[in-house]
Structure 1
Amino acid sequence: MTSETILSIEPFQVPVNPDGTFKCFGQGTSGTVTRAIDSRTGNYIALKAIPVQLREQDRENVIQQLQNLYSCQHPCVTEFLGCAFYPARSSILIACEYMDLKSFKDMMTLGGAFPEEVVGYASSRLLDALVYLHRERKMIHRDIKPSNLLMNSKGQVKICDFGMSTQLANTLDPAHTWVGSTTYMSPERISGLQYVWNSDIWSLGISLAEVATGTFPYSDPGRRLELVELLDRIVDEDPPTLPETFSPEFRDFVSQMLVKRAEQRPHAEMLIGHPFVVLHGNADISQWLQQAATAMTSQSPST
């Protein structure tokens, strides 16, 4: 990083563009992510910048809320390293551990659909994370989607960006708050009902079906669905199913997650013992990880 223009935002060293904006490592609905360095350790970190409009008297309260929200201790939830308000860009900065393979969405874009055993391996860890969030933290994620499911070259799988939609809805700029991605939202939420614990399970099922097939389950070949039509389909049609080219265990696993009636949909702890998860939870995915890392390296920024 010695050749880069570096902005010091203690304790982080952040690469910036000539105009002073952060170099974009990833783009989400709520902000941009840049790869920075933690000056305390010399390690890479992921620094998310969320544009906000905050009164000065609200800043300390929002930062405290974020610290409380992200103070999770679980191997399948991204480690929180700190947050701050950055006045120069009117942004909240959230620092988390760096995952070198980025998100499932990034990996799918570079390498195509995931092999079934990789999906099973990941499912075991993602369900473990949801059990922790739901049972121990009493927290619903509300925005499960491929871009919020991360992996690194060590084979660690982690969830990020949880809980923001309701925690800070009254203080963050409504144009930039995290309200959940509508296309992955459960039928009960689209219908205007409250989130329940297993609303996250529907979103996970849609996400896993997408990364396994390489296609969003509600895609309509040859044309782009309008949002209203898509939402109507999620609420009114039978849920998606996996093609018969996949194993019976995987197809059953996804079908259980995509039960439309929330009261009949299993919770995360019920799915951990599913035969598909048990079969692949300890799979050796090292060769696939090497291929993913090679693809990611070829696309990585120079920072």
Structure 2
Amino acid sequence: MEENITELASVINNPKTQIFFDSLIDSIAKIFPKIAIRSLWVIFILIIMKPTVNMIVKTLRALLHKSKADPLLESFLVSLIKTVVYIGFFFLIISGIGVQATSLVAILGTAGLAVGLALQGSLANLAGGVLILFFKPFLKGEFITAAAGSGTVTAIHILYTTLTTPDNKRIIIPNGQLANGAVTNISREPERRVDLVISTSYDTPVEKAKAVLKRIAEENEKVLHEKGYTIRLNAHSASSLDYVFRVWTKTPDYWEVYFELMETVIIEFNKEGIEIPYQKIDIYNK
């Protein structure tokens, strides 16, 4: 035990060992202030980052609201600015750590091709969002139908658009799909045509069926009577005569008129003794 202590003391008292420890202490004394300053800088950036982003977003929303900008443009710009600001804070943190911004840019430039290939879908969605905002195929609050689903447009973000379905489901559709695919805007026009197919038996006179359908259209207050009606025999089916029954109404009243007409047809046909055919089998005994 005493020998070990003596050996340790000799190592510590060795001039080379003292030089090493002196050099280590000097290095720590020089590096520690830099590390402390950089750590404080990073902590400071992290503390102010969220409040700064919120303040910028709040100011931007106020300016856009004051200028009566399109709500879709507002949500898109807010998403874009938030992303840009966070990227700016990322560069501040990197520079605070000690990484040169020029070196970082060079690295990103070298890796740009690989990143571009990896994110080509996201870039396509970003471009799609810009096209949607520029050409305005739909606006916030309008009901649209696309390949991915149907719903009311609630927001457009940098990479995707949000729809809400009539049964309150949320659909997230990439902007690239909406920009490059077919989109049906159901709410854009102020008026819509309600198209029905009404069937009667072959025993019902054509003029009688048409007269009843015309009366139903005339008595509905939400139908745009000045636009006229289309009531024509359209097909001779296997067990029925099929009539097209078309009326015009204001777009917000479409479904209400649709259901009212469907209900009124069955009520009036029953009153008039008009048979609505259905599939059945007649069996004859010889």
Question: How high is the TM-score relative to the length of structure 2?
Answer: 0.22
Q: Which has the larger radius of gyration?
A: 2
Higher relative contact order (CA 8 A, sep 6+): 1
